[in-house]
Structure 1
Amino acid sequence: MSGFIIGRIKGIKYAVKGFFLLLSTENSIKTQSAIALVFTGLGFYFEINRVDWALQVFALGLILSVESLNTAVEKVCDFVHPDHHEKIGLIKDIAAGAVAFAALTAFIIALLIYWPFFIG
């Protein structure tokens, strides 16, 4: 049992390390985090309701998670094949496409939440 608990604590340690590595080294994560802070501020400013908060937190978490996985895919691809390769490029494009799906989802959620505040 103690081995299980120690394993989970180590897992949390690695996750926190990855979290801070992403925030400190990856421009895409820095940009997405700044956007998340802006939308968090908007949520407080417009006093959005609990359901809107849940949708917004989901959307922001989705983008940051998928962007993080995209970064991991790119790092693995670059490690496996540092030179340009057509198939590696395809893999990277597909991973970037996943980010585009997440961003589109977040954009639609943002429109649903904030559009009523701007149209009066």
Structure 2
Amino acid sequence: MTPKRGSWTSKFRCATLGVWFAFGGQSSFWVHLPVAVAVIVMAAWLDVSPAKWAILILAIGGVLTAELLNSSIELLVSVLHPQHHPRIGQALDVAAGAVLVMSLAAVAVGLIVLLPPLCGRMFGF
């Protein structure tokens, strides 16, 4: 039985397909994914607190969300205005900049959360 359009099941299915498309068809995700996995593995190895896990998960989620939004803008532009236009190029640059800003913030979060316990483990601090 196919869920009716507009139902929560249909919305969840569409959202899941969007995430799978992004992971499968957008090369930028393959930059963020290994970093996210490395952060998760390191946080588990360092046995960080639940509050620090929450902060790391929010940072990872923020980067992936920014990348999803950037990818959706790129896809819309490619359909609605396939020819080059300077203003559209600027809009795409701004969207990519949002990913960069979120990624740099996530790096800062990762260093703040993971560096002290890592130094403690490696150097006995």
Q: TM-score, normalised by structure 2?
A: 0.86
Equivalent residues in 2 for 1:1-120, closer than 5 Å: 7-116=7-116, 117-118=118-119, 120=125
Q: Which amino acid aligns with 1:107?
A: V
Distance in 1 between residues matched to 2:41 and 2:20, nearest whole Å: 22
More helix per residue:
1
**Matched-pair identity in %:** 25
Helix, strand or coil at the partner of 1:48? coil
Distance in 1 between residues matched to 2:84 and 2:16, nearest whole Å: 32
Helix, strand or coil at the partner of 1:83? coil
Q: Which amino acid aligns with 1:59?
A: A
Helix, strand or coil at the partner of 1:31? helix
Distance in 1 between residues matched to 2:30 and 2:19, nearest whole Å: 11
**Per-residue deviation, 1:31:** 2.0
Distance in 2 between residues matched to 1:89 and 1:77, nearest whole Å: 9
Distance in 2 between residues matched to 1:53 and 1:60, nearest whole Å: 10
The RMSD of aligned alpha carbons is: 1.9
- State how many pairs are aligned: 118
**Unmatched 5+ residue regions in structure 1?**
none
Q: Which amino acid aligns with 1:118?
A: C
**Per-residue deviation, 1:118:** 2.6
Q: Which amino acid aligns with 1:47?
A: D
**Unmatched 5+ residue regions in structure 2?**
none
**Per-residue deviation, 1:36:** 0.8
